[in-house]
Amino acid sequence: MARLDHNHSPWRRGTVRLAFGQTAEGRIVSIREVVSGRACGCVCPACEEPLIARKSGARPSPRADHFAHARDGACVGALETALHKLGKQIVMDELGLTLPAIAAEREGVRRQTHAAKHQVFESGQVEVVLPGVVADVVLRRRASDLIIEILVAHASDAEKVERIRAQKTSAIEIDLSKLPRRAGLEMVREAVLVSAPRKWLFNPAQDAVEAQVAQVLADRAEAARQKVLRQAKTLVGHWAALPCPKDGTDLPAVRGALAQIEALELSAYIDAPISRGAKALNVSPKACQALVLKTVVIDQQPWYGRAGLSVVALRERLERQGFLPPLFGVSRDAELIAAARVLAPDFNTPTGLIGAYLRGLETAGLVEADDGLWRAPLKVRQQIIQQARDARERQDRIDDLHARLDEILRRAGPEGDGFDSEAWLGRSGRASPPPRSVAASGGAAWTELKAAFGLIGEAFWRYDAAVDVMSLPLRPALERAEQARRDAAERRRLAAEAAALAAADDREARFRAAAMVAYGADAEAWMAGLVPPANLSSRLELVRSSPAQLQAALDALDRRVTQQRREEAQRIMAQEALADLWDAACAEHGGDWAKAFISNPDPRLGGRRPREVCIDPAGLRMCLELVCPKRAVRRGGSAETRQSAAPRRR
Ligand SMILES: [Zn+2]
């Protein structure tokens, strides 16, 4: 029986005001049954200190009526003790209550011999001291007793229940712990007598009905066990009839896996001996293990994010390969498998075989399991990537060697027909390993071998004593190659010439266009002019000769065009300034004065003529001050201030 945690009982928490007090006669009474104040004559049921009844009377009060301790003091057990005492008092007053049904239910099996019923008793006694236990109440009817335990905060623990059982007296426990804390007298009464949860702590009839349920469950379990045993016998029968597995290592998928395993030097990890049950697969352990190793360790390594593969997923892969006998087309539960193993020690399942192999790999450090998912550890995956890369590079070098040899023999033409490439590749030299091994190992020896092939290639172009290399009859082939090389060189030279001409024409066209912009009608004559200081070739010839010359000429033309534009802009600005000055002078002094002023040297301008000075806005201002000095001064203060401020104002 679970012990009730005190804190879970609402009677132990918070500060609900005490609604019950204890009279001088020891009875528990409700606040409603007493007069207000000290005159209530009640003490605390727990600490027996005097209580004051705080009653609002006829006045409306936000607070419920309650008892308060006369002397200040925290009395945490008051409410709990009051309820416990009240429960016992109600049972004693009534001498009757509802008894729990005699029934049991476990795992869906329910048996009942008596329904819950109201029972009336003849007498009762509280706080009855029995051997080893004090009963809250004992009720008696016709010489038979019933122990009543009231549960408020403390459930009867296993020890107490044992002591009660030892009395051989029927006992019930009434659980008031879930009663609302503001429960009034009537509610507590109804709960104690009828509705609060109650159960048998001891009752021979209750024990009997529980035994009945246990028997039903035991029968049911035995029937299930017998069923599993029958199924296991059938399974083992089928198992015995299974044929011995084929080798399977010649199947294409297995051959591929074995080749990869060999290349990665993992052969030691397959063909592990198995303790039992080889017949659970259609193929030999070696074939099965090769596929598992390839799937978990080799194929998995490029996908770092993957968590791994379950044994069930691996079993499905083997099933897709046709490695599972039809007998194992369905998976069976562990109980049946265990029963089959008892009947036939050799019995095993595909899953069992795969699991055992993976555990072996795990011991070897080649795989690890995480939450039932198998994968290679990061370090192993990295190693395999490195080994795969090495193997690929080794193969690339061997392919390269074959290609070089084939190229030599192709160039040799019919003269090379009798050459035995395979023998040459596998034959050791005087002090060197066979060429194929040299390529496989790489390193300095391989670099030397490649250089030797380079020399042979060279020999095709500069044939001389080198034709003796590899004892190949190469001379006619070398002569053909030399002719072809000369023809090709001539074709390349002609093509280069044509391309150079086209490029020169292109440069000329661009140069001509730029010259037209800068020189207009004079462009042709300018382009034909000789280039100083050497005066050996015309500008056009120079530009045709190289892209750099074209670029230099284009840059010079660009600068000239820019200069022309700048000069044009200045000329227009000077015209406008002079026109402004003319207008101002005519307006101030008349046309004749203006003509004379503009064309004659003026000492105030350092002896220059205004028309020479008035070529931009600054010159215009200087001249305007000479035409109408008063206005200029009036408008802008001193001449110096005006000049320094002028650019900003503009
Ligand atoms: Zn108290």
Model confidence pLDDT, tens digit, residues 561-579: 999 999 999 999 999 999 9
Rg, Å, the chain Cα set: 58
Tell me how far the alpha carbon of residue 385 lies from the centroid of ligand 1, in angstroms: 80
Q: Is 0.75 surpassed by the pTM of this model?
A: no
pLDDT of residue 93: 94
46 CA → ligand 1 middle, Å: 5
Q: Nearest to residue 88, comparing CAs of 11, 27, 155?
A: 27
CA 192 – CA 183 distance, rounded (Å): 12
Examine the pLDDT at 492 and tell me if it is beyond 60.
Answer: yes
Q: How far is CA 54 from the centre of its chain?
A: 66
Mean pLDDT, all residues of the chain: 84
Question: 4 C-alpha vs ligand 1 centroid, how far in Å?
Answer: 23
From the CB of residue 18, how many other CB atoms can be counted at a distance below 10 Å?
21
Quick: pLDDT tens for 123-144.
Answer: 999 999 988 889 999 999 998 9
Output the CA 45–ligand 1 centroid distance in Å: 6
Q: 598 CA distance to ligand 1 centroid (A)? A: 125
pLDDT at 645 over 60: no
Distance 13 CA to ligand 1 centre (A): 15
Tell me, in angstroms, the distance from the centre of ligand 1 to residue 92's CA.
24
pLDDT at 462: 56
User: Which stretch of DSSP H or E encloses residue 124?
Assistant: strand 123-130
> Is 23 in a helix, a strand, or coil?
coil
459 vs 93: CA distance, rounded Å: 128
How many angstroms from the chain centroid is the CA of residue 519?
71
Q: How far is the C-alpha of 172 from the C-alpha of 101, rounded, in Å?
A: 11
**49 CA distance to ligand 1 middle (Å):** 6
| Ligand 1 center to 34 CA (angstroms) | 18
CA of 178 to the centre of ligand 1 (A): 22
CA of 12 to the centre of ligand 1 (A): 14
| pLDDT, greater one: 557 or 427 | 557
- Ligand 1 mean position, distance from CA 84 (Å): 14
Category of 413 on φ-ψ map: left (φ > 0), alpha (ψ -120 to 50) or beta: left
Most confident segment among 280-284, 450-454, 527-531: 280-284
% of residues, the chain, pLDDT over 70? 88
| Residues 649, 285: Cα–Cα separation, whole Å | 100
Domain residue ranges of the chain, discontinuous segments joined by +: 6-84, 241-376, 387-473, 568-649
Distance 22 CA to ligand 1 centre (A): 10
Tokens (6 digits) for 222: 């035995």
Check pLDDT > 50 for residue 206.
Answer: yes
Distance 88 CA to ligand 1 centre (A): 19
- What is the whole-number distance in angstroms between the Cα of residue 90 and the centre of ligand 1? 21
Whole-number Å distance, alpha carbon 337 to ligand 1 midpoint, is 66
pLDDT band for 378, please (50, 70, 90 cuts). Answer: confident
Span 210-237, average pLDDT: 94
Distance 44 CA to ligand 1 centre (A): 4
- Tens of pLDDT, residues 238-289: 998 888 888 888 888 899 999 989 888 889 999 888 888 888 999 999 999 9
Residue 571: CB atoms within 10 Å: 11
DSSP letter, residue 589:
H
In this prediction, residue 62 has a pLDDT band, given cuts at 50, 70 and 90, of: low
Residues 297 and 266 sit within 8 Å (Cβ to Cβ) = yes
Q: What is the mean pLDDT of residues 469-487?
A: 71
Distance CA 350, CA 239 (A): 12
**Cβ proximity of 619 and 577 under 8 Å:** yes
Tokens (6 digits) for 587? 């307006």
The alpha carbon dihedral of 80, 85, 86, 88 has a sign of positive
Calculate how far, in angstroms, residue 305's C-alpha sits from the geometric centre of ligand 1: 67
- Report CA(54)–ligand 1 centroid distance (Å): 15
Environment class of residue 463 by beta-carbon count within 10 Å: exposed (0-12), middle (13-18) or buried (19+)?
Answer: middle
What is the Å distance from ligand 1's center to 132 Cα?
29
**What is the 157 CA–ligand 1 centroid distance (Å)?**
27
Distance 29 CA to ligand 1 centre (A): 15
C-alpha 57 – ligand 1 centre gap (Å): 24
CA of 69 to the centre of ligand 1 (A): 7
Compute, in angstroms, the gap from residue 402 CA to the centroid of ligand 1: 105
Q: Is 471 exposed, middle or buried (CB count within 10 Å of its CB: 0-12, 13-18, 19+)? A: exposed
pLDDT over 50 at 13, yes or no: no
Residue 60 Cα, ligand 1 centroid: separation in angstroms?
27
- pLDDT band for position 640 (50/70/90)? very low
Residue whose tokens read 């008793």: 121
Helices (H), 13-101: 78-94
Structure token pair of residue 425: 């590749």
Per-residue pLDDT, 641: 40
> What percentage of residues in the chain have a pLDDT greater than 90?
38
Q: In this predicted structure, what is the pLDDT of residue 471?
A: 54
- Tell whether the model's pLDDT for residue 215 goes beyond 90: yes
Q: In angstroms, rounded to a whole number, what is the distance separating the alpha carbons of residues 501 and 633?
A: 71
In the structure encoding, which two tokens stand for residue 197, read together? Answer: 């949860």
- Residue 228 has phi, psi (to 5 degrees) of -60, -40
* 109-122 core/surface letters (b: 16 or more CB in 10 A; e: else): eebeeeeeeeeebe
How far apart are alpha carbons 110 and 108 in whole angstroms?
6
Q: How far is the CA of 63 from the centre of ligand 1 (A)?
A: 20
Using the mean position of ligand 1's atoms as its centre, give its distance from the Cα of residue 72 in Å.
Answer: 10
- CA–centroid distance, 52 to ligand 1, in Å, is 11
Pairing relationship of beta strands 117-120 and 144-151 according to DSSP bridges? unpaired
Which H or E run includes 355?
helix 350-363
Q: How far, in Å, from the CA of 37 to the mean position of ligand 1? A: 16
Query: What's the 74 CA to ligand 1 centre distance in angstroms?
Result: 8
Phi, psi (degrees; rounded to nearest 5) at 473: -80, 85
pLDDT band at 604 (very low <50, low <70, confident <90, very high): confident
Give the distance (Å) from ligand 1 centre to CA of residue 245.
85
Name the nearest CA neighbour of 21 among 38, 2, 4, 44. Answer: 44
Say if residue 636's pLDDT is above 60: no
Task: Name the most confidently modeled range: 218-232, 326-340, 367-381, 512-526.
Answer: 218-232
pLDDT class of 460 with cuts at 50, 70, 90:
low
Q: What are the distances in angstroms from CA 460 to CA 412, 468, 480, 483, 529?
A: 9, 12, 9, 11, 52
Q: How far is the CA of 106 from the centre of ligand 1 (A)?
A: 44
Span between the terminal Cα atoms of the chain, in Å: 104
Residue 85 Cα to ligand 1 midpoint, Å, equals 14
* 257 CA distance to ligand 1 middle (Å): 85
Alpha-carbon gap, residue 272 to 286, rounded angstroms: 7
| 204: CB partners within 8 A, 6+ apart | 170
The DSSP letter of residue 2 is P
**Six-digit token pair at 304?**
């770092």
CA 281 to ligand 1 center in whole angstroms: 79
Query: Within a 10 A sphere around the Cβ of 622, how many other Cβ atoms?
Result: 17
C-alpha closest to that of 155 among 122, 208, 198:
198
The rounded Å distance from CA 417 to ligand 1 centre is 120
